[in-house]
């Protein structure tokens, strides 16, 4: 397990398609995308990249790239529709694991990447205090089938984003707008992580992570009110999901008029073997212009931007990684950058190539920042590019392309981009 993991990452709903095949149940994203006005241009993940039927082609792309790991997610509604174990759904991932291993690519599954079974949402979703136990049972089912061959597991992907976008602001499934009343979903997701970690460990899992979306937080000025606002945002985005796992205690939530829960911290802080970090950009914060939240996003200018308009700040990755080491010290386990990448409006040229110099510059800068963090003493053991394929990009539908491989969604034709070939050459020199 000491080998550095060079990989790409995907998520089930974003690439698999086959949403009504082989007994798969309905997820909250199936429901959300079929509600008018939820997703740009009415796009859905019904077909996506058709990865369910094209795994051999996609694994060949990984082999050609030269990665030694692949982070994918397992679809909970495919494995447990209606709460019943679906052997056909499990069988898909069983075969995927075998095929990856045969190709020399380490499988790194994520158990939850936002596609909650709809029937569990109907019962309250992550607002329901019973859901963590249901998640642990699901984890045990998957591990019983795969843990003999899968060493490294990720419990949850970006619980902050799922809470904020799915339950507080309503821009992602399940589309609820609870604002600060969504905070219980943080606690329940963290409890689910802890219980699943215990279930995975009992099944023989050797390495267990969680993937948290983290951001360096920059105050807009040295004014005390801006410093306080930045501290509040850092608490909500970063510390709320790292502190309980790594220190066994929640941060002070008084800036939000809330008191942190005290129950279950022994479960939440069950030891993990690594911390997954998803990094895209820093966040610049100012004092609020209204009273809803104790902060406002001030925006960042002066940097190149991605197709999403996100600032491209490679040094932010170095700042984030070294900042985690400074904050948690010996409590910080080995770190894996489990997502990092950029969207660009890529097109196939008449000669059949896809030229994406912005993505090459993005990867080059962020890999340099990662290596500098390693030299500065951060124990980073893996890097996963988001993403292998252009895919269904949540509320943006098919309008944001993050892939190293271009996908024509009408024909499913895959075309490796220049960045794919650049990264292949980079990995060949590692």
What DSSP assignment string belongs to 337-378? Answer: EEE----------TTS----HHHHHHHHHHHHHHHHHHHTT-
Q: Exactly one of 16, 339, 358, 393 is catalytic; name it.
A: 339
d(CA 109, CA 78): 14
Please report where in the chains the tokens 């196939």 appear, as a residue: 348
Strands 207-213 and 405-408: unpaired
Under 8 Å between Cβ of 404 and 8: yes
The angle subtended at Cα 366 by Cα 360 and Cα 368, nearest 5°, is 100
Q: Within 10 Å of residue 330's Cβ, how many Cβ atoms?
A: 6
Q: Exactly one of 158, 319, 358, 393 is catalytic; name it.
A: 158
Of all residues in the chain, what percent are helix, strand and coil, respectively (each to 5)? Answer: 45, 15, 40
**Across the chain, which distance is largest between two alpha carbons, in Å?**
61
Residue 128 burial (CB < 10 Å; 0-12/13-18/19+)? middle
d(CA 50, CA 412): 7
d(CA 419, CA 390): 13
Provide φ and ψ at 380, rounded to 5°. -95, 130
Q: Within 10 Å of residue 57's Cβ, how many Cβ atoms?
A: 14
- Please state, in angstroms and as integers, the Cα–Cα distance from residue 89 to each residue in 76, 78, 139, 142, 252, following that order: 9, 5, 14, 10, 42
**Annotated catalytic, 358?**
no
As beta bridge partners, residue 389 has 405
- Please state, in angstroms and as integers, the Cα–Cα distance from residue 280 to each residue in 115, 135, 306, following that order: 22, 28, 10
Please report where in the chains the tokens 């914060």 appear, as a residue: 285
Residues with a catalytic annotation lie at 158, 339
């Amino acid at each position: 397990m000491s080998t550095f993991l060079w990989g790409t990452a995907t998520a089930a709903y974003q690439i698999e398609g086959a949403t009504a095949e082989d007994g798969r149940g309905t997820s909250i994203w199936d429901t959300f995308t079929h509600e008018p006005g939820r997703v740009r241009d009415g796009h859905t993940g019904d077909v996506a990249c058709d990865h369910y039927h094209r795994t051999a082609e996609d694994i060949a792309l990984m082999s050609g790239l030269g990665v030694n790991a692949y982070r994918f997610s397992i679809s909970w509604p495919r494995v447990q529709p209606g709460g019943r174990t679906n052997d056909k759904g499990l069988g898909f991932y069983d075969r995927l694991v075998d095929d990856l291993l045969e190709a020399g690519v380490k499988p790194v599954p994520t158990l939850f990447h936002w596609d909650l079974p709809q029937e569990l949402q109907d019962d309250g979703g992550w607002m329901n205090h019973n859901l963590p136990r249901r998640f642990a049972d699901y984890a045990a089912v998957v591990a019983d089938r795969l843990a003999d061959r899968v060493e490294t597991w990720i419990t949850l992907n970006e619980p902050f984003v799922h809470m904020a976008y799915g339950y507080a602001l309503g821009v992602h499934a399940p589309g609820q707008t609870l604002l600060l009343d969504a905070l219980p979903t943080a606690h329940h997701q963290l409890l689910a992580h802890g219980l699943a970690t215990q279930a995975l460990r009992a099944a023989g899992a050797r390495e267990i992570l969680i993937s948290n979306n983290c951001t360096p937080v920059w105050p807009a000025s040295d004014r005390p009110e801006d410093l306080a606002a930045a501290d509040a945002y850092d608490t909500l985005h970063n510390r709320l999901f790292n502190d309980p796992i790594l220190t066994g205690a929640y941060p002070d939530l008084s800036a939000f008029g809330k008191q942190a829960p005290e129950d279950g911290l022994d479960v939440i802080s069950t030891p993990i073997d690594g911390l997954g970090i998803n990094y895209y950009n820093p966040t610049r914060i100012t004092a609020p212009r209204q009273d809803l939240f104790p902060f406002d996003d001030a925006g960042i200018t002066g940097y190149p931007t991605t197709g999403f308009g996100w600032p491209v700040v490679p040094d932010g990755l170095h700042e984030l990684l070294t900042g985690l080491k400074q904050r948690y010290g010996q409590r910080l386990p080995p770190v894996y950058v489990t997502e990092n990448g950029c969207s660009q409006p890529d097109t196939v040229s008449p000669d059949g190539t896809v030229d994406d110099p912005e993505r090459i510059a993005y990867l080059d800068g962020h890999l340099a920042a990662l290596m500098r963090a390693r030299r500065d003493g951060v124990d980073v053991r893996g890097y996963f590019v988001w993403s292998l394929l252009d895919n269904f990009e949540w509320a943006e539908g098919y309008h944001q392309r993050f892939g190293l491989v271009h996908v024509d969604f009408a024909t499913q034709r895959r075309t490796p981009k220049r960045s794919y070939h650049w990264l292949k050459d980079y990995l060949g020199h590692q």
